[in-house]
Amino acid sequence: MNLIIVEIEKLEAQPRMEFADRPLSEITAYIFERYHQDLRRRLPELVTLSKKVEEVHQAHPACPHGLNVLLMQLHTELLFHMMKEENVLFPLIDAGRGSTALLPINAMVMEHNVHGENLEKLHQLTGDFRAPPDACPTWTALYAGLEKLEEELMEHIHLENNILFPRALAQTIN
């Protein structure tokens, strides 16, 4: 079993009581503000840093060749994923119609699995986000940013998969 799956399972086992009694519309608003907006800001910065590191350090043995392409792909996938949540799924949940959203929820969960696979690829390309001892500040900042991205994306996925989606599917239509 890959390390990302193990880490996600650890997070899934931890209760998130702060969201247990919150209205679902408050959770969707939190996800939008806390995670979606942050991803829209953070990912372009990481794409820029990765391009710079690959260009400047292409001859370095630890250069993460292909990282920029992977981050651009991840950025595109996440933007599309968030758009679907914000324009289709979250409005259904906010309107109290989460129980009708099984297919969109299943699609989002499948995409979350792909995001997990992409995080595993990031680990492979970066040696688990460990910059070489002679890394420049940009390279070090890139890896620190990727580590933070992974942490927050895993929190985000956990909140949706294990709290929001099950509660939404249990909603009754008024």
Count of C-beta atoms within a 10 Å radius of residue 122: 24
Cα(44)–Cα(71) distance, rounded to whole angstroms? 9
Closest CA to 23 of 128, 95, 121, 114: 95
pLDDT tens-digit readout, 101-121: 999 999 999 999 999 999 999
Q: Are 35 and 148 in contact (CB under 8 A)?
A: no
Q: Alpha helices of the chain — where are they, by DSSP H? A: 3-13, 24-30, 37-56, 67-84, 90-94, 102-126, 137-159, 165-169
Evaluate whether residue 80 is within a structural domain.
yes
| Position 47 in a domain | yes
Residue 128 lies in a domain: yes
Cα gap 20→47, rounded to integer Å: 35
Residue 11 lies in a domain: no
How much is the pLDDT for 174?
52
Residues of the domain holding 33:
22-169
Q: Is residue 2 part of a domain?
A: no
pLDDT for the residue 20: 76
Number of structural domains (the chain) is 1
User: What mean pLDDT, rounded, does the chain reach?
Assistant: 90
List, for residues 18-70, the tens digit of each pLDDT value: 787 899 999 999 999 999 999 999 999 999 999 999 999 999 999 999 999 99
For the whole model, what pTM was predicted? 0.85
